[in-house]
């Protein structure tokens, strides 16, 4: 009797949590929330191809070699970088660009300092960046 009720409640929880958090469970980001995070990048980055500000255009950045946005000549920390931007490299870079660049590109000094401390913010912005093709 009690067991049945308990099982029912348990099942309820399972159904509820799968409904609420399919995205969270997969560890993938949310594009709409990523767009909001991008408000913190806008001052320096455009998403239009070839339109550069203080930082390079982020159009097509996902999957591209770091430091290679066509026409952007003010790379500092990312100059001559030899890695591609994917989920892993972007996640690490956006956690702390200064540390990432020093570690991975011959102790260069990063031209970007903004850090995204929250993992969710990083996951969401990465999902958004993927779209910019
Ligand atoms: C104050 C200006 C500034 C802000 C704000 C800023 N960036 Fe940057 N970003 C730069 C600069 C400058 C570079 C080039 C860095 C270098 O060469 O060391 C860069 C480089 C990058 C790159 C690598 C681009 C490439 O072509 O390899 C990515 C990805 C990036 N930024 C993402 C972001 C995201 C996402 C945000 C917002 C959460 C953000 N940036 C906020 C200035 C900024």
pLDDT at 9: 65
CA of residue 10 to ligand 1 center, whole Å: 46
> Span 40-51, mean pLDDT?
98
CA of residue 45 to ligand 1 center, whole Å: 7
| Other residues' Cβ atoms within 10 Å of the Cβ of residue 36 | 13
Q: How confident is the model at residue 123 (pLDDT cuts 50, 70, 90)?
A: very high
Who has greater pLDDT, 119 or 24? 119
Q: Counting Cβ atoms within 10 Å, is residue 66 exposed (0-12), middle (13-18) or buried (19+)?
A: buried
CA of residue 25 to ligand 1 center, whole Å: 28
Who has greater pLDDT, 78 or 19? 78
| Other residues' Cβ atoms within 10 Å of the Cβ of residue 114 | 14
pLDDT at 64: 98
Q: How confident is the model at residue 25 (pLDDT cuts 50, 70, 90)?
A: very low
pLDDT at 1: 58
> Span 68-97, mean pLDDT?
98
């Amino acid at each position: 009797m009690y067991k049945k009720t308990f099982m029912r409640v348990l099942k309820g929880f399972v159904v509820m949590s799968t409904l609420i958090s399919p995205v969270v469970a997969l560890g993938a980001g949310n594009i709409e929330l990523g767009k909001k995070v991008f408000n913190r990048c806008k001052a320096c980055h455009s998403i239009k191809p070839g339109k550069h500000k203080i930082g390079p255009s982020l159009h097509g950045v996902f999957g591209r070699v770091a430091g290679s946005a066509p026409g952007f000549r003010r790379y500092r920390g990312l100059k001559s970088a030899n890695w591609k931007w994917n989920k892993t490299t972007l996640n690490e870079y956006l956690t702390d660009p200064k540390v990432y660049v020093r570690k991975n590109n011959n102790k260069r000094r990063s031209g970007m300092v903004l850090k995204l401390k929250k993992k969710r913010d990083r996951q969401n912005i990465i999902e958004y960046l993927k779209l910019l093709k």
